[in-house]
């Protein structure tokens, strides 16, 4: 139960930091960068949701973890096409893609802090 709540918190954090990346890119570099950050954020959220899906299947049967390879390849191909063929601003794109890392770390730290506080309150 607690693990599912943590994963959901991380998902919300990835989406939230993606939105922050779009707004931040707009104020730092303009509308074109914000568009690119939106594209990067969509790739980051898709990557996270794909990882959740594969991990959920991997809990039931570890042989499903082989699906990480095509998922990762799909992300690499998407980023390649966005960088090389779309003409999007690379700064904004990188900013949006960073939402995955920041969201996972921020969401996990926030969840662990919350569960520590709950544990302290139950211990009293």
The confidence score (pLDDT) of residue 20 equals: 95
Tens of pLDDT, residue by residue over 86-112, are: 989 999 999 999 999 999 998 888 877
Distance CA 52, CA 4 (A): 10
In the chain, the number of structural domains is 1
Question: For residue 95, what are the domain limits?
Answer: 2-123
Give the pTM: 0.84
Q: Is the dihedral of CA 75, 79, 84, 88 positive or negative?
A: positive
Inter-residue long-range contacts of 110-113, CB under 8 Å, 24+ positions, other chains counted: 110/9, 110/13, 111/5, 111/6, 111/9, 111/10, 112/6
**Residue range 66-90: mean pLDDT, rounded:** 91
**Residue range 51-65: mean pLDDT, rounded:** 86
């Amino acid at each position: 139960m607690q693990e599912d709540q943590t994963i959901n918190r991380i998902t919300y954090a990835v989406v939230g930091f993606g939105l922050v990346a779009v707004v931040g890119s707009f104020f730092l570099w303009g509308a074109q960068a914000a568009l690119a950050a939106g594209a990067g954020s969509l790739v980051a959220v898709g990557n996270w949701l794909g990882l959740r899906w594969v991990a959920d299947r991997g809990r039931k049967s570890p042989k499903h973890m082989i699906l990480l390879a095509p998922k990762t390849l799909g992300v690499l191909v998407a980023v390649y096409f966005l960088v090389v063929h779309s003409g999007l601003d690379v700064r904004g794109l990188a900013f949006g893609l960073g939402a995955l890392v920041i969201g996972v770390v921020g969401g996990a730290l926030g969840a662990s802090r919350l569960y520590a506080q709950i544990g302290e309150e139950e211990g009293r």
